[in-house]
Amino acid sequence: MDNYNNIEQLKDFIMESRNPYVLTGAGISTESGIPDFRSKDGLWNTIDPMEYSTRQVLITSPKKFYQYGFPRFRDLLDKKPNQGHYALTELERKGIIKGIITQNIDGLHQKSGSKNVVEVHGSTKTCHCLECFSEYPFSEIVNQLEGYNKELPVCSSCSGILRPDIVLFGDSMPEEFFEIAEVLKKQCDLLIVVGTSLQVYPVAALAELVDSLIIINLDETPFDLQAEVVINDSCGETLSKLKELIIKNLY
């Protein structure tokens, strides 16, 4: 079956569902110039996350974390949403999808105008002190590293080290994850998975909580055989075509 017919089928599933939600991963942001993690050109092929981007590294070797692990977070601030983000925003605005759960920390769903977004891996909006837990905007880290304090960003109250409010390897999942898992379990009748390999738990477990599953991803996932529709193509292009079909169906 060609992708056009698959998108038509996807449109029908969405229009027939009562409470569809969307789960997004790194694949939706690659068209915004942000590399994904596990594809052949993914970030983990050039940077070992266990060496630079873990909670343990931040605590025991903070200078190493900020020299090698942090720059990829800083780079996200200049990125812009692509057609996939805008398509989901429009579908949310029309009341077609009920919300977006994202593994991404880039904030591009909000930049495109989406309102009901749950960021299960944190975000580049805020940071806090590891000692006194004072909260700051994320820009405090960036301003210090790019200005007067180039090695370690510190708290102005107690001189403790600042850390971004991002879920690092070794961190616990935030409370928001367990809350949205309950919502999916009780309310969601269709989960549209976009741009994620569904290989990393506990987020992959969200796909096990719903009755129906749609997958839009360039590569295969472990859940493909359980999905109603699988589209192995560009997330942005697929979502844009899907949005057009749905809006055409509304009028």
Looking at residue 41, its pLDDT comes to 52
Looking at residue 92, its pLDDT comes to 97
Domain spanning 1-34+81-121+173-251: CATH superfamily: TPP-binding domain (3.40.50.1220)
Where the chain has pLDDT below 50, the residues are 1, 39, 42, 44-45
Q: Residue 85 catalytic?
A: no
Binding-site positions read 129, 132, 155, 158
DSSP per-residue string spanning 14-74: HHH-SSEEEEE-GGGTGGGT---SSSTT-GGGTS-HHHHSBHHHHHH-HHHIIIIISHHHH
Looking from the CA of 76 toward its CB, the CA atoms found within 13 Å total 23
- Per-residue pLDDT tens over the stretch 137-161: 999 999 999 987 778 999 999 999 9
What ranges do the domains of the chain cover? 1-34+81-121+173-251, 36-78+123-166
Give counts: helices (H), strands (E), the chain: 10, 9
Catalytic residue among 85, 109, 121, 128: 121
Binding-site positions for Zn(2+) read 129, 132, 155, 158
Looking at residue 66, its pLDDT comes to 93
Element (H, E) at 112: none
Class of domain 36-78+123-166: alpha beta
